[in-house]
Amino acid sequence: MRKLWAILWKENYERFTDRTGAIYMFLVPLVMSAIMGLAFSGMTGPQDVTVLDIPVGIVNLDEGGSQGTALGAIFSEALIPSDPASPDADNPLHRLFKARAISNEAEARALVDSGELTAALIIPPDFSASLTPDPAAFAAGGDEPLTLVGHTNLTLYRNPRSTVGWTIFRDVVQGIADGIAAGNIAVGATVSGLVEAIPAHPLLALQLASGSLNETFTGIAQAASQPDANPIRIRQVDVAGRTQDAFDPLATFSPGFAIFFMGFTVTVGSATILREQRLWTLQRMALTPTPRGIILGGKLLGTYVGGLLQMFVLMIAMSLVGLILQGPSTNIWGSDLPAVVALTLAAVAAATGVGITIASFARTEEQAGNLAAFVLFVMGLAGGIFFPTMQMPDFLQFLPRLTFHFWGGNGYTILSQGGALGDVLPNIAALLIMGVVFFVVGLYQFNRRLDI
């Protein structure tokens, strides 16, 4: 056993005292993770990839409705801060848009054409009048059918060079318009119910005709048009039912980079057997009373331990980078320590198995390096290190599941979103199976071709 540990120590001593190797093992993945964190989240903490201060204009020509309602003002109140110098921090629309009121349509169109505005919303003069039911008409009766919900048009004028900002503005305007329509429907339904009750309560006809209920109808319209009045809520969850957090670039990219470069480390470590065979170091070791299994086992176990040390160092260092860039709220690896350790042990085992197999089919150390660069880059590409696997065509969705990059990165993503050990057991099982299969193949190939 002492010989096994001596070989293991020698392998890792050489690996970790190599300055060039240390740069690729630690510095490169750390720098790449930090760049991604700075590029996508800045220095303010985990957040979505944001588009802020989209310049838009609102031309409110609305002249009001029969009940004194001013539905066009709802757009202005929602989008334009009462004090432009200090927008409401709790209103996401004030952060998303840099909206301003414009007095006439011609000016708004000119500002959009010049590129100063992304888009302009033009509210017609009859907006409120077209959408507001007239209670007096309900009370008067007659042969003509009464229209509960009117019809009018909003105009959105956009700069053709804008795509993302315009799309966001259009969707927000549509959402506000839908809320106004909901309020209009609520008022119409209320008035209709009151009209039907007039035969039993004649006083309602006088109240409707006099307008004494207009203020009540206005309150109903405003309450029904607010987002909080909608009983339907949309909550984005994953397949396990967990609420999805905002996009965190460090939690997205850091585990992938760590696994990617750890794969290269264990492959290069396995390939040192070829170098020692070329230098006859391996043959001299075989002349000692040491079983071949101890020699190969010490080298391969040393490779595995080296991969573990690299992963744990990167995990600590990347967590510190996250602490600096995003503050104490950063959560790259998850908070379930046993799950993190188990997943890391399995991920390094799978990567070591793949690395041993790659090295076992190479004839020289240089050939092993070239083969590893190709195979591991393709596996990383397919495994989602550089882009989400969901962007792959449906007929290629099986490819990521053939790589340890996918199972490891996906497992860390689950843990960073609040998952526990039970949630990543499939990932751990897949990684262990992959590690055992490749380890057996690589060990068999080394035993078959090494002449010691």
Contact 274, 365 (CB under 8 A): yes
At residue 270, the pLDDT reads 76
**How far apart are alpha carbons 196 and 199 in whole angstroms?**
7
At residue 351, the pLDDT reads 92
Q: Are strands 54-60 and 97-101 parallel, antiparallel or unpaired?
A: parallel
Own/partner pairs for 363-367, CB < 8 Å, 24+ apart? 363/274, 364/274, 364/278, 365/271, 365/272, 365/274, 365/275, 365/278
At residue 108, the pLDDT reads 92
Complete DSSP assignment for 77-145: HHHS-SSTTS--TT-HHHHHEEEEE-S-HHHHHHHHHTTS-SEEEEE-TTHHHHHS--HHHHHH--SSP
| pTM of the predicted structure, to 2 decimals | 0.55
Contact 354, 438 (CB under 8 A): yes
3-state helix, strand, coil in the chain (%, to 5): 65, 5, 30
At residue 267, the pLDDT reads 84
DSSP state, residue 271: H
Contact 272, 13 (CB under 8 A): no
DSSP state, residue 237: B
The number of beta carbons lying within 10 Å of the beta carbon of residue 20 is: 7
At residue 247, the pLDDT reads 55
Name every residue whose Cβ is closer than 8 Å to that of residue 123 and which is 6 or more positions away in sequence: 58, 59, 60, 61, 62, 72, 75, 154
At residue 364, the pLDDT reads 82
Please give the chain's pLDDT, 452 residues, in tens. 677 777 677 777 776 677 776 676 777 777 777 776 666 554 444 444 445 678 999 999 988 766 566 778 888 888 888 776 666 666 778 778 888 899 899 999 999 988 899 899 999 988 877 776 555 554 454 444 444 445 678 888 988 777 777 788 888 888 887 777 665 655 565 666 656 666 666 665 555 555 555 556 555 555 555 545 444 344 444 444 444 455 566 777 888 888 988 988 888 777 777 777 777 777 777 677 777 777 777 778 888 888 898 899 889 888 888 887 777 767 788 889 999 999 999 999 999 999 889 888 888 878 888 888 899 899 988 888 877 777 788 888 889 999 999 999 999 989 988 889 999 999 999 999 999 999 889 888 877 765 54
Three-state DSSP at 157 gives strand
